[in-house]
Structures are given as structure tokens and as C-alpha cells.
Structure 1
Amino acid sequence: MKNAGMAVFVLLTAAVLMFAGCAGGEAELGSEENPIVWSFVPSGEMEQVAAGADEIASLLNEETGLFFDTNVATEYAGVIEALAADPPSAHMASLATFSYIKAADMGVAEAALVAVRYGSPTYAGQIIARADSDINSVADLKGKTFGRPDPLSTSGWIVPMLTMKAEGIDYQTDLEEVVDTGSHNNVVTAVYNGEVDAGATFDDARGNVEDDLEDVREVVKVIATSAPIPNDGVQFSPSVPEEIREQIVEALLAIAATDDGQEALSTAYSWNELIRRDDSFYDPFRQTLQRAGMDVDDIQ
């Protein structure tokens, strides 16, 4: 009996120690206690992006059994910082082209999916001004105020800055002021209201504010359109295990093929479809930056 009692004591002690170890350690990624954090950037209206993101997370939970926590950052750099944290405070992201390249070059993001809009995995940027202004070309931007969504926005700043540079305009000395508006929609609204002389957005962000500004297409004109730019998509922190990534990617592809999934993706980012693409998809844009002599680390 003494030996039996000792055996029971040893087993109970081991069980207590095992429980204590589990309780003290971090819960498995994707569990309710340790959800997968997916950070979105403020492309359109933050409330709309957030609503779509929440619905996507709910559909992913139903499809995979994994738990997700979504958020919409106030700036692009905040998402990169979240990916770069140790441990990461974001496990997934939906970064636009330039901010993804910056994060990838830092080793904190890896591409998995690219969005398709209107049948294409690329889009264009545009520079806009009021129709009643004297701004009719990029050269006319000299001495003007300019609105951008974010310093790391590809279509809202990086490409327009390259375009201005090609026209001999140095934004630091030749523009009167550069104003950060917080989103593409806000750039259109700022130009419409005359708060800035011109600005840049994706093509055609005017449609996003048309419900509130019915005559926006008459009041705000497009003075330049860019070459194709890779769409945004879904990227993962390198810390996310490959099997979890693949489970999420397969689920997103399945969700994107359903009516509910398409509605959620459209609400968040106007995504119509998702396709697999790795980091090499962004190489042509990297080459564009290199030809312009631009270093991603130097752009603010």
C-alpha cells in the first residue's frame, strides 16, 4: 500500500507540474486565448474596412476553427511595426505594394495572396485636382499644396512622387506643403473642398465618396494616371507556422468563392478575388524603384 500510495503521489505531482507548465506558457496560436492578429491599413473609410475585416475573420473561424483578431491601423507604418515587434503583435497583414516591399526587405512579412479587382491583380494610381483650378498637368503642381493618404501609400504617394521627380519637381522644395489625410477617400474630399490644391489616390477613388459628394466627378478631375501597380493582398509574419498559413490561405480561397465571402472582401477592400502570389510578384516594382535611384529605407 505504501508503494501504491507513493506511485499515486508521483503521478499527481507530475500532473500538477504539467498543468502549471501549460498554464504558464503561451496558448497555441489560433486558439481563443491567443488569436491570430490580422492588421489592415486604412485604405477607405476605416469603419467600412473594419466591418469587412470582422466578417472575413468570422468566416475564417467557421472554415478553419482558428480564432482571429482584426484591426485597422491608423497608418501604414504601424502595421509594419506590429509585424516587426518581438514577439509580433500582428501575424497577418494586408499591405499595399510599397509598404509590403519595405516589410519584406526588413524580413518581417512574406507574401501569400494578391487581390484581384475587376479581373486584374494590378491597379493604377491617379493625381487629381479641382476641375476649376489651373492645374492641368504634373508640371503645374509646383508651388501647390498636395494631399496624400499616407507616406507609405504606393498609389497615393510613392508613385506620384516618382512621377513628379520625372517632371523635375522635388516635393521637398517645390511643393508648398504635403498634407497627410489618413485615407484615399480623405484625399478626394480634401481636393473637393479646396483644402489642398491637388492629391493622389488609387484609380478611381472618387467613386468611394460619390454617395456623399454626388458631383465629385465633375468637381474633381484626373490630371495623370500611373502605370500598373501590384494590388494589395495577404501577407504573413515569418513567425506563423507553414501549416497554419496554408490552412488560412486555403480557407480564404474557398471563402472568396462564396457569396458571403465576396461581400465581406468587397466591403473591406473592394477585393473580387484572391490568387496565390509570392514575393517575386513584386520584383518589377522593385526594379522601378531601383531605376529611379530610390531606397525604400529613405522614403518617409
Structure 2
Amino acid sequence: MMRRLWGLFLLILALLTVTACAAQPRIVEVTRIVLDDTAVSTPIPIEVTVEVPVEVTRLVTETVTVVETVLPTMPQPGSAERPFQLLFAPVADTAVISSRAQVLADWLTEETGQQFQVGLLDNEQRIIDLMCAAPAETIGFLTAVGVALANQQCGAQVVSTTVQSNEMSWQAGMIVVRNDSDINELADLDGKSWAVPSQSSIPNNWYFQALFAAEGIEPGEIISVPGDNTAMLAVLNGEVDFATGTYLPPLMPFLEQEWVFGEDDPEIWRQTGVSPSRSGIGFVVVLGRPENGGYRVRDARSGVFDTAENIFDETRILTLSAPIPATSVAVGGEFPFGPARQLAELLIEFVASDLCSDALCAPDFYGWVGLETAIPANYDPLHFVINTLGWTDEALLITE
């Protein structure tokens, strides 16, 4: 019996050995041998081969080349390669502008050690275009409306306002009516005839056009006349219902104080109860010259006083325009703050010097007598005109 069992064991072992040498299986079936109760159980070691998957990670090293683009460095504003540009419109003969403006450019270069160059362009819109294209190095000499448009188009900032030969840094227009008319407020102008001394004037025409549009007032016939004198005579003689003209405030008694816009009556001298008269040296005065305690009347009606002495008795001022700043200096929207502040101070110094008589102060150029630091809020009336009338570039064909 034991011999038969041993033979069976050898047969099974042989079969297992042959199977192990064949293709390696994934599953191995083992037959369990059950011995009878009389047999002796002996553990039989069995070797089983199992296929185990192995994951291999391949390390790949990749070289990346980074190309760095280096842009050329822009020259600084005010350098020889990128000078500050002093930009002028053709307000005078081109040869006069070039030579007189160069005096300023040379002085600024000497004072600052930076470079300044004169540019003469066809009109104010060309100046604004260049200020928008090169906002860090451009300086524009502009009318008040030009300053406002440059600010709206590309953020240009005003730095200086000029003082004119009449010693004022602003100008204003007035509406004049006859004393015996029924016109007592703006609304009464609806449908009334209007004499305009200059269609291109901001204070005498365009400001009032914007004001009427904003108030819903439509004047009747608008008559263009040649100058303040004709406009004042037209309203005096009843040829029109109202006229606009230049307003200059009166000089006050003893010159101790100045007439204040918005606070003092435009015809403050009427409180004396005395009519204007002609002084010995040609001024229109009330109670004598200011140095002697009187008033000097300077609005547009004084220009026709010799031919119409009754004009102040027969007419009155209905209202004034807002004050409109005089010719101004502005810089591009990205002009460096430090140089801009220094420029404003230097321009004031230059205009106060003797050199200015050969440059900006020359009578054949701007004829300035002074310069003030600009107040941006003073240009709000120009923004009102531009926005109300819908002005764009074509407004710059207008000169004050």
C-alpha cells in the first residue's frame, strides 16, 4: 500500500515539474489528496510560479531654452534725443513766431540743462494731436477752448494763464438791452433779434449760444456786425432787441480794491446816481478818475461814447458771460510732474524779465504783460460750451 502511494506521489510531482517548465500560467490548480485514516500525513512543499506586473517609470530630462527680448531704452524727455516741444499755432507771422519763441527755448535750456525745441503747427487741433501722441514731452500754447479740448481728448493739463495788456487774465461778454425794453431776464430773449460783433468770439457769441441752448431759448434773427461799436449802436438805435459785446470791469475808486466777478454789480458805478462823462485824457469816468475817488467805465459802450453820449443812460447790462481764461500754457497728459511744476515757475519768471519783450511779450507776438499759475476749474465754462454745443475738432478753427 505504501509503495502504491509513493508511486502516485512521484507521478504527481513529475506532472507538476513538466507544467512548471511550460508557459507560465496566471492560475494554478492544485488537487488536494485525501488520505485514509490509516495513512500518515506528511506535508508536501509545492512551488507555484505567479506572474506579477511591474510598473517602470522612465525619467526623461528635457532642456528648455528661454529667449529674453530686451527692448531699447527710450531716451528721457528733455534729452537731446527727445527734447521738450514748445508748440505754437500761427497767431502771427511764422518767421516772427520762430525767432521770438526760440528766445524762450534757449532760456529754458540754459536754466534747466534740458533741451527745448520750437514747433509751429497749422492750427490748434494739430497741436492737440501732437500733445496726445507725445504726452510726456509736449507743451502747447493754446486758447482757453484749445486747453479744454486737449484735456477732454487726452488729459492735457493747464499750467499757466496769461495776463493781457488790460492787466486781466480773463475776458467776458455782456448782453446789452435798451432801458425801455421789456427784457428783464434771459427768458425774455426768446424770439428777439440779436446783434453779434464777432461770430468767432467765445465770450460774445459761443458762450451765449450754449447758454441759450441750455435754457431752451431761441433768439430770433441773429445779425453779424463788424465789431463792438456797431453792435452797441445797433441796440441803442433800436435796430435789434439786444446785442453782445466785450465787458471789462470798472476800475474802482482810489484803486484800493478790484471789482470782483460774481460779487459786484457789473454797473456798480450806477450807485452814485451820476452819469458817465469823458475825462480830460479820454477815459469814460464817473465822479472823476479812480485816483481821485471816481470810477473808470471800460465796457464796450465806452467805445462809442463820443458819438452817443446817451448810451449809458439809454441802455443797461442784462447779464454777463462766465469769465473765459486768456491764452494759456498746457502740458501733455503724461508730462512729468516735477518738470511741469518747474516749467510753470520758470515761465512766470521769464515773462517778468526783460527777455520777454523780445519773445512772448513782444507786441507783434502775444503781447503778454504777465503770467499766472492756472486754476483748472476756471476752464469749466469752456467744457460747458464744448459739451452743450457738441464741439469737436472744427471748433479749433475759431480764434478768440
> Which TM-score bucket, shorter chain as reference?
0.5 to 0.7
- Candidates 143, 147, 150, aligned match of 1:100: 147
Residue 198 of structure 1 corresponds to which residue in structure 2? none
Residue 373 of structure 2 corresponds to which residue in structure 1? 276
Checking the alignment, whether the CA contact within 8 Å between 2:79 and 2:114 is kept in structure 1 is yes
- Candidates 35, 60, 65, aligned match of 2:113: 65
Checking the alignment, whether the CA contact within 8 Å between 2:125 and 2:393 is kept in structure 1 is no
Q: Which runs of 5+ in 2 are unaligned?
A: 1-69, 175-192, 228-245, 248-302, 304-319, 396-400
- Measure how far apart 1:269 and its partner are: 1.5
Output the CA distance in 2 between the equivalents of 1:254 and 1:121. 17
Checking the alignment, whether the CA contact within 8 Å between 2:136 and 2:332 is kept in structure 1 is no
Checking the alignment, whether the CA contact within 8 Å between 1:30 and 1:68 is kept in structure 2 is yes
Output the CA distance in 1 between the equivalents of 2:375 and 2:100. 24
- For the pair shown, the structure with the greater C-alpha radius of gyration is 2
Secondary structure of the structure 2 residue equivalent to 1:103: helix
Output the CA distance in 2 between the equivalents of 1:65 and 1:261. 20
Checking the alignment, whether the CA contact within 8 Å between 2:324 and 2:378 is kept in structure 1 is no
Q: Does 1:231 align with 2:326?
A: yes
Q: Does 1:113 align with 2:160?
A: yes
Output the CA distance in 2 between the equivalents of 1:161 and 1:56. 38
Map 1:78-227 onto structure 2 (within 5 A). 78-85=126-133, 87-88=134-135, 91-117=138-164, 118-123=166-171, 139=194, 154=202, 158-159=206-207, 168=219, 227=321
2:383 alignment partner AA: R
Q: Deviations over 1:263-295 (max 9, x none)?
A: 3121342111111013112124434566xx323
- Measure how far apart 1:64 and its partner are: 1.3
CA RMSD of aligned residues (A): 4.2
Checking the alignment, whether the CA contact within 8 Å between 2:144 and 2:379 is kept in structure 1 is yes
Q: Does 1:75 align with 2:110?
A: no
Evaluate the alpha carbon distance shift between residue 94 and residue 252 of structure 1 in structure 2; reply closer, same or farther with a 3 A threshold. same
2:141 alignment partner AA: S
Evaluate the alpha carbon distance shift between residue 160 and residue 57 of structure 1 in structure 2; reply closer, same or farther with a 3 A threshold. farther
1:255 alignment partner AA: F
Evaluate the alpha carbon distance shift between residue 95 and residue 289 of structure 1 in structure 2; reply closer, same or farther with a 3 A threshold. same
Q: Does 1:258 align with 2:353?
A: yes
Evaluate the alpha carbon distance shift between residue 154 and residue 67 of structure 1 in structure 2; reply closer, same or farther with a 3 A threshold. farther
Residue 55 of structure 2 corresponds to which residue in structure 1? none
Checking the alignment, whether the CA contact within 8 Å between 1:82 and 1:90 is kept in structure 2 is no
Checking the alignment, whether the CA contact within 8 Å between 1:98 and 1:158 is kept in structure 2 is no
1:245 alignment partner AA: A
Q: TM-score if structure 1 supplies the norm length?
A: 0.58
Residue 245 of structure 1 corresponds to which residue in structure 2? 340
Q: Deviations over 1:4-28 (max 9, x none)?
A: xxxxxxxxxxxxxxxxx89x42222
Checking the alignment, whether the CA contact within 8 Å between 1:116 and 1:271 is kept in structure 2 is yes
Q: When you count helix as a share of all residues, which structure comes out higher?
A: 1
Evaluate the alpha carbon distance shift between residue 298 and residue 39 of structure 1 in structure 2; reply closer, same or farther with a 3 A threshold. closer
Evaluate the alpha carbon distance shift between residue 32 and residue 299 of structure 1 in structure 2; reply closer, same or farther with a 3 A threshold. closer
Output the CA distance in 2 between the equivalents of 1:92 and 1:280. 20
Output the CA distance in 2 between the equivalents of 1:156 and 1:50. 31
Evaluate the alpha carbon distance shift between residue 35 and residue 42 of structure 1 in structure 2; reply closer, same or farther with a 3 A threshold. same
Q: TM-score if structure 2 supplies the norm length?
A: 0.45
Residue 383 of structure 2 corresponds to which residue in structure 1? 286
Evaluate the alpha carbon distance shift between residue 284 and residue 155 of structure 1 in structure 2; reply closer, same or farther with a 3 A threshold. closer
Residue 99 of structure 2 corresponds to which residue in structure 1? 51
Secondary structure of the structure 2 residue equivalent to 1:43: coil
Evaluate the alpha carbon distance shift between residue 73 and residue 97 of structure 1 in structure 2; reply closer, same or farther with a 3 A threshold. same
Aligned residues: 218
Output the CA distance in 2 between the equivalents of 1:75 and 1:161. 24
Secondary structure of the structure 1 residue equivalent to 2:359: helix
Q: Does 1:30 align with 2:78?
A: yes
Q: Which runs of 5+ in 1 are unaligned?
A: 1-20, 127-137, 176-186, 189-201, 204-216, 218-225
- Measure how far apart 1:139 and its partner are: 4.5
Percent identity of equivalent pairs: 21
Checking the alignment, whether the CA contact within 8 Å between 1:265 and 1:272 is kept in structure 2 is no
Output the CA distance in 2 between the equivalents of 1:125 and 1:80. 26
Output the CA distance in 1 between the equivalents of 2:85 and 2:208. 32
2:91 alignment partner AA: S
